[in-house]
C-alpha cells in the first residue's frame, strides 16, 4: 500500500495545495514533508493504516519505528 502527496491533493481558494490526510493534532490537512510511503504488510488494512501513520508522523519521528532493511521474504 502506498500513500503519497503527489496525487490526492486539493486546492484552496487562495491557490495553495493541501494534502488529503488530516493531522489529528491540528484538525487541518497535514503539511508533512513526505512525498510517498510504501508499506508491505500481511493485510491491506494494516498497510493502509501504517502508511498514513508514517506520513503524519514525518520521517524523523517515524524512522525509529522501522527496520533499516526489510526482512527477507519467505518463499
Q: What is the pLDDT of residues 15-57, one digit of tens each?
A: 877 778 888 999 988 887 777 888 888 888 988 888 888 888 8
Cα–Cα distance for residue pair 68/9, rounded to 1 Å: 30
Q: What is the pLDDT of residues 9-18, one digit of tens each?
A: 677 788 877 7
What are the percentages of helix, strand and coil residues in the chain, rounded to 5?
30, 20, 50
Cα–Cα distance for residue pair 59/33, rounded to 1 Å: 8
Write down the pLDDT at residue 62.
80
Q: Confidence class of residue 61 from pLDDT cuts 50, 70 and 90?
A: confident
Write down the pLDDT at residue 42.
87
Residue 75 pLDDT exceeds 60: no
Amino acid at each position: 500500500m502506498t500513500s503519497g502527496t503527489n496525487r490526492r491533493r486539493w486546492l484552496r481558494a487562495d491557490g495553495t495545495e493541501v494534502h488529503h490526510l488530516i493531522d489529528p493534532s491540528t484538525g487541518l490537512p497535514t503539511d508533512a514533508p513526505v512525498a510517498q510511503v510504501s508499506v508491505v504488510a500481511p493485510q491491506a488494512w494494516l498497510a493502509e493504516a501504517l502508511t498514513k501513520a508514517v506520513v503524519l508522523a514525518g520521517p524523523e519521528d517515524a524512522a525509529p519505528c522501522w527496520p533499516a532493511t526489510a526482512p527477507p521474504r519467505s518463499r
